[in-house]
Structure 1
């Protein structure tokens, strides 16, 4: 009889155990369009400062990024700016320039590609370009979680 009881509880215990299985962390990939110069709050971020991923703000009625202390669990950190030469707005050329120039700065700071720290460019849009914006912000992030301190060497 004791054996029947033990096996009788096994399916219930196994089912309960599946409720607490933690799925593996999916790496985040941030592209050149993840945040743009039009994302509210990004123009307030200075070089070396950390900031949040964009989230919808009911008060603002749009997606915003916020300054976050680097040691407070930030999503991203700015590590520099590059300046695109004047000319007509060309999204394809701007994207190529952003990835190349931010990649060069990344390699100069961290010595090459790292699995634990990725970069992406934050670029002007056609609208901000028309207003004279030629700056590309370079940002780093951890694909498997948040920054726990400044990523700058």
Structure 2
């Protein structure tokens, strides 16, 4: 699903990602607010064959911001066909998805997928997220952040800053 904005297209400066892993470890919500965190989490979920969960969650977040009935109908149908239909290419495993029939797509509303999105969020929060925090993807990113923080360039900049503020 190419149209979903997941933050991969945004360049991240070292200032944005500095201590990013600390923020990601705080909560799944914090992780999902950071484009770099989403990117790393997707990378992890891809290895676990469950990337569709975060893609569905992101699609639902985008859907809530959709304006106009026609655009909502199109996005709702796209989400349904991609994640919820029995023929979906990236089907998510949610309870009650069969009760969400195609007829609901005719009269979409911003929170129409909320219950299903909450189920997927809880699945990620209580299952995948804890494994992500123990994964090589997370730990290696954290290690490289710490090395960057302790690099001579970072320390020199910090010393210069302290001299400026301490004069």
After TM superposition, is the score higher than 0.5?
Answer: no
TM-score by length of 2: 0.26
* Greater helix content: 2
* Greater strand content: 1
Larger radius of gyration: 1
Q: Which has the higher contact order (CA 8 A, sep 6+)?
A: 1
